[in-house]
Amino acid sequence: MDITKIGRYEIEKELAQGGMGLIYLARDPYIQRQVVIKVLMYSRTLDEVYRDFFQQEAELIAALEHPCIVPIYDFGWYGEQPYIVMRHMAGGSLADRLQKEELKQTEIAHVFKRIAEALDAAHARKIIHRDVKPSNFLYDSTGEIFLSDFGIAKSTSITDDDGTWLVGTPAYMSPEQVLGNPVDGRADIYALGIVLYRLLSGQLPFSSDSTTALINAHVDLPIPDIRSVKNKIPAVWQEVVGKAMAKNPNDRYSTASDFARDVAEVVSGKWYLRKL
């Protein structure tokens, strides 16, 4: 049965289906604006762990009010299904954009400044995103970029009748996530390093048809040299990526803003002056 209304919100169309829920474009008739609604799938509502997990996302985003984080407007229940209402980001995701074109280095520096500010704000509250990737970087109608989807920020795994499964995206998982070890903000910095590798080279550092092989690569394999993919990339980029993606968290940047600063300095040329 097609859903036409959730709470006071008038459903316009279904946008996507995720692992845990449905995403709709809707209109708020009270203030005549479009919003996005994420609804937990009915099949998941029978298990309390999923209901708690979904509500956690609403609480986290609400607590993380920040100019670089997609804001939440409302939270409620559609029968037994919880939902959250968020700002509609009309510009789509960075992942969408990368399917059409590559970013200029000045644009990369701006993206990293914004996302780093969002992550540092979260990390200051001891909240780890755990799923930093281009599809969670969203553009608004003016072309400004925001960080979205803190739905897995408080958990390292979920256990249900099917067993225990890791949360996150295998292509962007830090070694400590893969190993099930405690994580801090440096896990997000590792993932942000993978994003930079992707933006510079057009490829992910590790890929495999096997999820097991892919996550093990983060633990066992050295970071591929970006210049083996694009030989015209200056060597300094490998140095920056290598620090962000160090296997040992102690060898990474201590904050996302430190990482973004180095990205900006390489793009502007200040990095080379600093090294003189």
DSSP string, 92-103: EEHHHHHTT-PP
Q: For residues 67 and 15, is the Cβ–Cβ distance under 8 A?
A: no
Q: 275 by DSSP, 3-state: which? A: helix
Q: For residues 205 and 245, is the Cβ–Cβ distance under 8 A?
A: yes
Residue 42 in tokens: 């009915």
Rounded-to-10 torsion of CA 50, 55, 58, 61? -70
- Residue 178 CB partners (closer than 8 Å, separation 6+): 166, 215, 216, 218, 219
Q: Which of 131, 149, 188, 262 is catalytic?
A: 131
> Residue 161 catalytic?
no
Q: Strand pairing partners for 21?
A: 40
Per-residue burial over 202-230, b if 16 or more Cβ lie within 10 Å, else e, is eeebbeeeeeeebbbbbeeeebbbbeeee
Residue 222 in tokens: 């050295």
Active-site positions read 131
